[in-house]
Amino acid sequence: MERKKNTNVIALTDFSAAGNSAVRHAATLAIFFESSLTIVTRFSFHKKEKINQKNAEFEQIIEEFAPKVSIVVDENPYDLASIHAMAESANNIMFVLGVARKGEESCFNASRAMKFIAPSRLPVMSVSSQPPRDENWQNVLLTIEIDQPHKEKSLWAGYFNRYGHSTVHILHNSYQDELSKDKLEDALEFVDRLYKNLEISPLKHEISPRAYVPDSYAVENADTYNAAVLVLMTTTHKTFIDRLFGTREQQLVGNPQGLPVLCINERDDLFVLCT
């Protein structure tokens, strides 16, 4: 298979446990996608934010992965807008950032993570402070919902198969009414056609009993599928409930199960990884 060359993964770290976890996850992803790795170490939401110093854990990760992947540590100061601008100036394929849970210290919590993700043309993988569940990225979760877009996230889930023969697990609800049944059948048929063209054979799993939020179900049951990552689309049109309590992706980034979540925005100029 001919693959696009000279791609790059960008990790953001503030040298916290979550930030260093982002570096480790990003290094394994760079190896998986045959990419280089750029590590951004100086970034802030505002000018007065404290910039932390490198620590032994960070240095250990660099030493471990330096023989396996090309690594550049970028110590230039960035605000969030300039990070996104920098990312679009070269052949970067995704960001990786560490999201702190309650009681942990990190530049990114769930709310800040979503502020970073929202304007991104690149997919953004959020990880927790836990180490990668599978450094070989062999099982990918993808939910198909009748009222959510699925083309872009299906493509990105498929890239894991194309590069590393990962298994794509499609999770979906079942429905009793004919209209919902037809919508689900149309959605699954679309993914079937897409994956047939890409020579991908996914595994389909019906969620029973039906899950109100399939992405949350996927995270909570990640161990059932030995999952390495969940691929999801971010919420485009926010409801009052979304604005009050946060979108489903805000509730899932940096989840306590330690499952990485690859967030993809619905936009016309989304980066597409050629294979």
CA angle 89, 61, 37 (to 5 degrees): 15
Helix, coil or strand: residue 204: strand
pLDDT band at 2 (very low <50, low <70, confident <90, very high): very low
* Percent above pLDDT 90 for the chain: 73
Cα distance between residue 112 and residue 107, in whole Å: 8
| Closest CA relative to residue 33, chosen from 230, 167, 218, 166 | 166
| Closest CA relative to residue 147, chosen from 48, 53, 240, 266 | 266
pTM value > 0.85: yes
The Cβ-side half-sphere exposure at 118, using a 13 Å CA radius, reads 13
Cα distance between residue 125 and residue 130, in whole Å: 14
Tens of pLDDT, residues 22-33: 999 999 999 999
In this predicted structure, the answer to whether residue 166 has a pLDDT above a threshold of 90 is yes
Structural contact between residues 274 and 4, judged by C-beta atoms closer than 8 angstroms: yes
